[in-house]
Structure 1
């Protein structure tokens, strides 16, 4: 198990003090004049840090989530200057991925760090979904550690806050410093925005960015608050919308069914007075000539079939359709109103149709009653 001193000096370890950079051979003196030999199975590697340029460039990305967890990604890049260093790093990367390497960042270290934070926050925390990768690309040795830290954020009345997960004893923080070759990026949770940050922390593309060198004395120096902007982050209640659609469909079907039933039960309008023995019959006194066309127009408008495109019909077919929709007979004035044609056009058209036997014209006082021939025969 790692000591508490190693936990406090977490990012000193990340900086590469214990990273393998030279192949098997004579020991090399580091900047402090000490040789540090690390045994990796059958291979002995010299863990050396000759200067800051030889330390790995480290990028720490903390991706905050809406469920208050955080996805961590730590990428360390080592410059490999010789073939021996490249060979040694490949061997180390293989053992690092297998979990048999004695140096390098691993889940055990962060499990102890999370235990320290858990004791301070009184929130249950776990480190899970850990992965480790090591490879060489373009003369650079790369180590990648990823994991998920649960309950990393605290929930407030205003939203979420990042602070106490960095806590250690005596109001200190376990993240004591970043070196000049280290960068920290804390990404904002989806649908949230930053509401407040401590002085000195940069905000870039909705993420807090900290570039080393930087020291931290307390968690307050890393405290960031988040909120949901108005109108953002409100999930669409699909279940409620789906239920509303069903209700609308049911109401629509019931309305159509009721209308259809009502239409079937409505009795047909009685035929207008027909002549007897060739004598013209005047309309009933209660119904004037002005009232009759309006009634006929409303009846025709209600019974017009919406599925028929009137523009595709000829004038004769239009008149025949109107007569069929009005019980086989209509007053000439009503035909004028229904079609919107002029009196002269309707008069000429009806005379032509009467000559062809398509309709029958009957004079009733001052009006012409137009009917289909079949209707007259049935009436007679």
Structure 2
């Protein structure tokens, strides 16, 4: 019961927080009277949030860095002006705009500590606002904090979820949970909407059950082999350097010529095997190799997919927040999004 209450408490904070006179809710942000400043100064236009993005980065010791973003599309002059007023208010008194929110977070962490029996604390609280172009223009209010003891750590395994039992996501809300390098995902419940190399993503609406969301990771069995690979790479590098100087000294070859001669033989490349990538990762790979932006038709041609299949994958990536798309004439252009991560 304690875990359920803790998660519900956090949920109220995430999707409906009242911050020093400005309601930053799941549905609406209203700039009204703040510390004696008239509503006429701050504005009274409702700012409907378009989406909420929650990112939880779990470290090896169980500590998690939390980032909660409220995003509002600034496609109306009144909304843009209201968000500008909200930005000025936040910058002039960050403490007032975050006190209620973070007092609630501290209470949530204390409840989770009591429910799990694991020592927890919260630090590094902060709030900021910005206008972000992705390429559409958004007003973004970001809350950050560090949750110590968030995940349970036992030996070489990390378990996430007991502090969030019964959590849920509303429509247009997403949550990403990442884990440290050197670990592999062993269990995720319920099934995630998207999986990356080191993270899972859920898109609302999702009503998690008891002890959910649940994510378990174990230290990769290939981690030691990875370190051995580094050692072997260093040995190989030493051999190459030795060969370089041997060519240089024995044949009177210039250093540049020696390097070109040693590199002339074709060898393995570092490009990932496309067969080992998910459809989403293959699209992201295309965009990364093209400087972060490409026409959708170029993706169709390079991957050899049908337009329908490409459109489905692009839609998932766009909903996940990995990419953005916009029209350029009659063409659909894709670009990697900046989630602030």
TM-score bracket for this pair, using the shorter chain length: 0.5 to 0.7
User: Of the two, which has the highest radius of gyration?
Assistant: 1
Q: In the superposition, relative to structure 1, how do residues 191 and 144 fare at CA in structure 2: closer, same or farther (>3 Å)? A: same
Q: Find the aligned partners of 1:125 and 1:230 in 2 and give their Cα distance.
A: 29
Q: Identify the residue that residue 65 of structure 2 maps to in structure 1.
A: 71
Which residue of structure 2 lines up, in the alignment, with residue 184 of structure 1? 175
Pairing 1:249-288 to 2, within 5 Å after superposition: none
CA apart distance, 1:88: 2.5
Map of 1:182-221 to 2, 5 A cutoff? 182-202=173-193, 203-218=195-210, 220-221=211-212
Q: 1:76 to 1:156 in 2, by over 3 A?
A: same
CA distance in 1, matches of 2:202, 2:162: 18
Aligned residue for 2:83? 89
Structure 1 equivalent of residue 16 of structure 2: 13
Please list, as runs of the form range in 1=range in 2, the aligned pairs for 1:118-197 lying within 5 A after superposition: 118-138=113-133, 139-157=137-155, 159-167=157-165, 173=166, 175=167, 177-197=168-188
Deviation, 1:72, is 1.0
**Contact 1:18-1:48 within 8 A present in 2 as well:** no
Q: State how far apart, in whole Å, the 2-side matches of 1:125 and 1:235 are.
A: 33
Report the TM-score, using the length of structure 1 for normalisation.
Answer: 0.48
CA contact (8 A) 1:94 1:134 kept: no
Q: Provide closer, same or farther for how the CA distance between residues 159 and 233 of structure 1 changes in structure 2, counting only shifts above 3 A.
A: farther
SS at match of 1:119: helix
Change (3 A) 1:41 1:17: farther
Secondary structure of 2:62's partner? coil
Shift of 1:112: 1.5
Q: 1:212 deviation in Å?
A: 0.8
2:224 and 2:33 map into 1 onto residues whose CA distance is 50
**Equivalent pair of 1:132/1:145 in contact (CA under 8 Å):** yes
Aligned with residue 109 of structure 2, among 110, 114, 126: 114
CA change 1:197–1:105 in 2 (3 A) is farther
SS at structure 1 position matched to 2:223: coil
Shift of 1:11: 3.3
Superposition RMSD on alpha carbons, in Å?
3.3
2:291 is aligned to none
Q: 1:225 aligns with which of 191, 216, 220?
A: 216
CA gap 1:81/1:231 in 2 versus in 1, 3 angstroms: closer
What is the Cα deviation at residue 59 of structure 1?
A: 1.2
Alpha-carbon distance between aligned partners in 2 of 1:40 and 1:200, rounded to the nearest angstrom: 45
Is the contact between residue 160 and residue 227 of structure 1 (CA under 8 Å) also seen in structure 2?
A: yes
CA distance in 2, matches of 1:200, 1:158: 23
> Greater share of strand residues, 1 or 2?
2
One of 58, 74, 89 as aligned partner of 1:80:
74
**Could you say if the C-alpha distance between residues 100 and 196 of structure 1 is closer, same or farther in structure 2, counting changes exceeding 3 Å?**
closer
Larger RCO (CA within 8 A; separation ≥ 6): 2
Aligned mates of 1:116, 1:163 — CA distance in 2:
14
Hey, what does 1:268 align to over in structure 2?
Answer: none
Q: How far 1:153 sits from its partner (Å)?
A: 1.0
Please give the alpha-carbon distance, in whole angstroms, between the structure 2 residues aligned to 1:164 and 1:103: 26
State the TM-score, normalizing by the size of structure 2.
0.53
Map 1:16-35 to 2 at 5 A.
16-17=25-26, 19-20=28-29
Aligned residues: 210
Q: Any gaps of 5 or more consecutive residues in structure 1?
A: 24-36, 168-172, 237-380
